[in-house]
Structure 1
Amino acid sequence: MGYKTLCFAFSCIFFAYCVYLPFPENVEEPWKVRILDSLIRMTSLVATLFEYIGLMKYEDIFLTLSSLHLTKPVSDENITVIDTKFSDIPVCLYLPKKKPKIQKPAIIFIHGGAFVLGSCKAAAYDDLNRWTANKLDAVVVGIDYRLAPQYPFPAAFEDCVSVIKFFLQEKVLTKYRVDPTRICIMGDSSGGTLTATVTQLLQNDPKFKDRIKAQALIYPGLQSLDTSLPSHREYAHGPILSREMTIKLACLYVTEDKALPQAALRNEHMPEESRHLFKFVNWSDFLPEKYKKNHVYTEPVLGKLNASYPALVDSRLSPLIASDSQLQSLPLTYILTCEHDPLRDDGFIYITRLRNVGVQVTHDHIEEGIHGALSFTRGPVFLDLGLKVRDKYITWLEENL
């Protein structure tokens, strides 16, 4: 009993400490976000301790918790939901029951989770896809790509490419009554990374060029070269998404070697031969003046990590390092960023680079926003911000797809 009491007391003290840590002033629904942030910090601490004593890997704690929020393919009066496979990759289809005289648009949804967590069957994503299908009378395809570290880079990318190429076949589009000129790829967080990389590949492939009308990236992470952008520094401790947790999880997509995240936290993980790529992610050139503030650009230290990871210099992991010629053919683009987000500046840099080469970009920036808001549109903690993000994205789709 004494041990349990001690653990409970420690938990209460740590929770109180987390709640009263310095916090951005203008976050929407601050107390809800504080509670969420504290719970995530506590989970990360427990995960670290469990990994240290050999009980469970860091990511497995988060995987276990996220599995509690998975849904089954339940249809309703408006939408038929089907679990199936495209090119042997699990997908979840949302098919409107209405029988229109014209063909429907389609949205291909790629979920977030740092390449390690998540599923298109997560309750919040199920709500989003169901709402999208119903609101737009659109076919929605959610991709359940393979997750790291069991399936490292480029498994997630390859799964998304396989599903989308399968879906784009004329016979498949005809089966689901999809208009081949009204297809959008959408993703949030690391799903936004995959959306950007897949769209780049398809638009630069003569066989699939112009088959995608639009792409939508919700608070995406778009590069792994520089881990010390202004937003990385300003929101290193969150809320919700901390720099350390992001690096720990995302590095698992590349390797389970602990040397990589440790080097990335010091911004010393890139090889010497990557020097020429930094011109594509140099925030001092591409970031709006408002977000540079008093930060001074310092080039990361190169060549200190002994191990070699080719993924780090691959545009399939960091779509921001694609050349201007690769970017200029991209379709209509929507990017949503949140102010209080370590990944904020990735989105801003991509917006600037796309506009510089003539791509039509719509940008929504939520000043009071946080990373991951779309994942909190179901209880027990419900954020109005998640609905705001959803509605901005849906409104753009209605006007452009």
Structure 2
Amino acid sequence: MGAKLLCFCLAAALLAYYIYAPIPEDIEEPWKVMFISASFRAVSDLAAVADWLGLMHYMEGLMLITSAEYVPPTSDENVTVTDTEFSNVAVRLYLPRKPSDGLRRAVVFFHGGGWCLGQAGMRSYDHLTRWTSNMLNAVVVSVNYRLAPQYHFPAQFEDVYSVTKFFLQRSVLSQYGVDPDRVCVAGDSAGGNLAAAVAQQLLEDSEVETKLKAQALLYPALQTLDLNLPSYQENANKPILSRSLVVAFWSEYFTSDPSLREAMASNRHIPLESSHLFQFVNWSNLLPEELKKGRVYTSPVYGSPELAQKYPGFLDARAAPLLVSDAQLRGLPLTYVLTCEHDVLRDDGFMYARRLRAAGVPVTHDHARDAFHGAVTFVLSPTELAVGHRLRNRYIEWLNENL
């Protein structure tokens, strides 16, 4: 009996140790956030074990979350939902059923998941895009772009760009009753990265006559140069998205070669020949003082040029939208940026918002001091959070006022 009790106590202690993680004091519902974080961590650890055993790729293990969350296209009294293709790329299309006084607004949405995970049919994304269509009485196109490790950059960008360019054709907009002056691209995390890159590329594309009205970037990943920003240091082990997972996502976006991940993990992946790009992500000039928290900017440590020669994608502005010049930012549409205090990617959003404003782009930057990465999608049971509802509603409110 004593031995059984001892084993039970040890097992309980190990479980408690695994589940427990310090949660910032200003985060609401800390115990719920702790369990959500532990669940994500458990799946990540199991995927890592499966990868080590040679059973499956690490990202394929994480894709179990995507598979478990899948819901089929289901119409309701407000919105007609169908899975179809635009320009040979799979999309989930949401068409409002409510009558409209005139042409409708439209949102082209790109899901997050580090370019490796996620899909338009995930329960959380299906809810967000359905809600967007219903609340705005808008057409929503949610894109199922190709994912790593099966496909690397630029496949993901090419898919979302192809869909957006196809949808912006006057004949297609007319087919769905969309006002060509009221179209927005939006996305969260890696999807925010893709939305920013698409908006930039459209400015350079003479074949596209329709101009975007807006872009909405929810805690976007925007640069590959400095993976040791203050937010990377401060939030390395905060809920949902750790620094190590961001590095894994970034490196896998470009290649499955572990040498790039190792170089990115030590922040020694940028060659000296590309040193001129650091001006675009120099946080000492682009972050407010309260985010620096006494940290002093140090010059980057340069890496071997071989990685950049083999995998040039991580120096491509289509993958890292912060790397374009100030002149290339001018002309971008109305912009919404959401950042979260307890997020590894926080500083990317801050730097982009500042650079956009300096270039004359109208920007609304909402910073949630009590939130973490991915918060917008936590609005459904059993992972429903009050902060998720608040941030989602604010995002919809901005779209309603500006689109």
Normalising by structure 2, we get a TM-score of 0.95
Measured after TM superposition, the shift of residue 180 of structure 1 is: 0.3
Change (3 A) 1:94 1:7: farther
CA distance in 2, matches of 1:121, 1:201: 27
CA distance in 1, matches of 2:181, 2:384: 36
Cα RMSD (Å) of the superposition? Answer: 1.9
Measured after TM superposition, the shift of residue 222 of structure 1 is: 0.3
Is 2:342 aligned against 1:346?
A: no
Which deviates further from its counterpart, 306-315 or 19-28? Answer: 19-28
- Tell me the residue number matched to 2:217: 217
Measured after TM superposition, the shift of residue 61 of structure 1 is: 1.4
CA distance in 2, matches of 1:275, 1:206: 31
Measured after TM superposition, the shift of residue 374 of structure 1 is: 2.4
- Tell me the residue number matched to 1:175: 175
Residue deviations 1:257-280 (CA, integer Å, cap 9, x gap): 111111111101112221010000
- Tell me the residue number matched to 2:359: 357
Q: Does the 8 Å contact 1:202/1:209 carry over to 2? A: no
Change (3 A) 1:49 1:138: same
Q: Does the 8 Å contact 1:204/1:329 carry over to 2? A: no
Q: Does the 8 Å contact 2:169/2:208 carry over to 1? A: no
CA distance in 2, matches of 1:199, 1:149: 25
Change (3 A) 1:11 1:251: farther
- In structure 2, runs of 5+ residues without a counterpart are 1-5
Change (3 A) 1:72 1:12: farther
CA distance in 2, matches of 1:330, 1:260: 32
- Tell me the residue number matched to 2:56: 56
Query: Map of 1:2-401 to 2, 5 A cutoff?
Result: 13-208=13-208, 211-304=211-304, 306-307=306-307, 308-401=310-403
CA distance in 2, matches of 1:244, 1:14: 23
Measured after TM superposition, the shift of residue 10 of structure 1 is: 8.1
Measured after TM superposition, the shift of residue 250 of structure 1 is: 2.5
Measured after TM superposition, the shift of residue 22 of structure 1 is: 2.9
Measured after TM superposition, the shift of residue 9 of structure 1 is: 8.5
Change (3 A) 1:11 1:241: farther
> Which residue identity is paired with 1:229?
L
Q: Does the 8 Å contact 2:217/2:336 carry over to 1? A: yes
Q: Does the 8 Å contact 2:272/2:305 carry over to 1? A: no
> Which residue identity is paired with 2:56?
M
> Which residue identity is paired with 1:364?
D
SS in 2 for 1:362: strand
> Which residue identity is paired with 1:264?
M
Which deviates further from its counterpart, 20-29 or 112-121? Answer: 20-29
CA distance in 1, matches of 2:110, 2:283: 27
Change (3 A) 1:367 1:159: same
Aligned-residue sequence identity (percent) comes to: 51
CA distance in 1, matches of 2:10, 2:243: 25
SS in 2 for 1:315: coil
Which aligned segments of 4 or more residues in structure 1 are displaced greater than 6 angstroms? 6-11
Measured after TM superposition, the shift of residue 49 of structure 1 is: 1.8
Measured after TM superposition, the shift of residue 286 of structure 1 is: 0.3
Change (3 A) 1:210 1:291: farther
Q: Does the 8 Å contact 2:247/2:261 carry over to 1? A: yes
Residue deviations 1:296-326 (CA, integer Å, cap 9, x gap): 2123211236433201110011000010011
CA distance in 2, matches of 1:155, 1:287: 32
Which deviates further from its counterpart, 304-313 or 45-54? Answer: 304-313
CA distance in 1, matches of 2:317, 2:8: 46
Q: Does the 8 Å contact 2:224/2:250 carry over to 1? A: no
Residue deviations 1:162-188 (CA, integer Å, cap 9, x gap): 101111111111110000000000000
Normalising by structure 1, we get a TM-score of 0.95
